[in-house]
Amino acid sequence: MTGIPFTKGHGTENDFVLLPDLDGSLEVGAQEAALLADRHAGIGGDGVIRIVPTRLAAEDDVRAQADEAPWFMDYRNADGSAAQMCGNGTRVFAAWLRREGLVGAGETAIATRAGVRRVRFDGDHVVTHMGTWRLARPEEAGDQGFDALVHVAEAEEINEPYSALSLDLGNPHTVVALPPGISLDGLDLTQAPVVRPVPPEGTNVELVRVLGPGHLAMRVHERGVGETRSCGTGVCAAALAMGVWSGTADESSTWRVDVPGGSLTVNALPGQQVELAGPAALVADGTTTLLTRQS
């Protein structure tokens, strides 16, 4: 077989190019990832995930996870930038490891740039323990629980910025609860929302509408990608922000979050813990000549 093997997969239509690199011989830097993710000149995806033994990772803090988590999810956004975490990616990554017989049906641990994430299989769904979340700037969240302003272009020009909350799920998020009367469908996410203060590492921006008790609708503009049809860390941030705003962040709660690509379930747990559950699909296998192996 010529070319480098890849698998295409998605989690609620947040789609990824998976590159198995079992001996650490692939070089997938920013340029290579951006080309692979290109929907015209490459394979196409919101992100690129290299699947590599953790002990072969370049970063010291990732290699330090090797005893606990043998496989590293080396995630890059479509623009080639490396990100700390990808919630939907963890499910697709685990589904690939299981299909290939590299992990069993029990709980498995995955190394990420944000630390180890534990994943379990539950019928058609994969459940990821997303670790400990935190407010990004607790000292700046006022009585109303907001610490940022976000301006989003809208179908009908409204120049008021929205109040928002910044959360850290291993990667950065800014959650906006849309006020009544503002249509989620009417937002123009072809341009990045403008966030103030400017987050030092950039941010993913979640626009959220409450549909009912424990039920949200969300659209997202992802850092390093643009609008995507789903974001796993983003739906967790959205549900957790609701808990912060209602003063129930320390209690267990379950949320269904509808995104353009499907629905995900978020379980908020005491102690700033959170789980994400949803589907993972592996839809194509092939080879690519866009990469070569290091000799």
Residues annotated catalytic, as ranges: 86, 231
222 is in an annotated binding site: yes
Paired residues of 217 in beta bridges: 209, 258
Strand-pair category, 172-177 with 204-212: parallel
Alpha helix locations (H) across the chain?
30-37, 60-63, 87-99, 232-246
Which distant-in-sequence residues (6+ apart) come within 8 Å of 251 by Cβ?
243, 268, 270
Q: Which residue stretch of 66-74, 138-146, 191-199, 225-233 sits at the interface with ligand LBFN2T5F (rule: CB under 6 A)? A: 225-233
Region of 13 please: left (phi>0), alpha (psi -120 to 50) or beta.
left
Q: How many residues bind ligand LBFN2T5F (CB under 6 A)?
A: 19
d(C-alpha 8, C-alpha 287), whole Å: 11
223 is in an annotated binding site: yes
Residues in 26-65 that interact with ligand LBFN2T5F by CB under 6 A: 47
267 is in an annotated binding site: no
Question: What's the closest the beta carbon of residue 180 comes to ligand LBFN2T5F, in angstroms?
Answer: 28
DSSP string, 1-37: --SEEEEEEEETTEEEEEEE-TTS-B---HHHHHHHH
Helices H, strands E: what count in the chain? 4, 21
Told to check if 14 binds ligand LBFN2T5F by CB under 6 A, we report yes
Question: What's the closest the beta carbon of residue 227 comes to ligand LBFN2T5F, in angstroms?
Answer: 11
Q: Which residue in 34, 36, 73, 83 binds ligand LBFN2T5F (CB under 6 A)?
A: 83
142 is in an annotated binding site: no
Residues annotated as binding site for substrate? 14, 77, 87-88, 171, 204, 222-223, 232-233
Would you tell me which residues interact with ligand LBFN2T5F (CB under 6 A)?
Answer: 14, 47, 77, 83, 86-89, 171, 204, 222-225, 228, 231-234
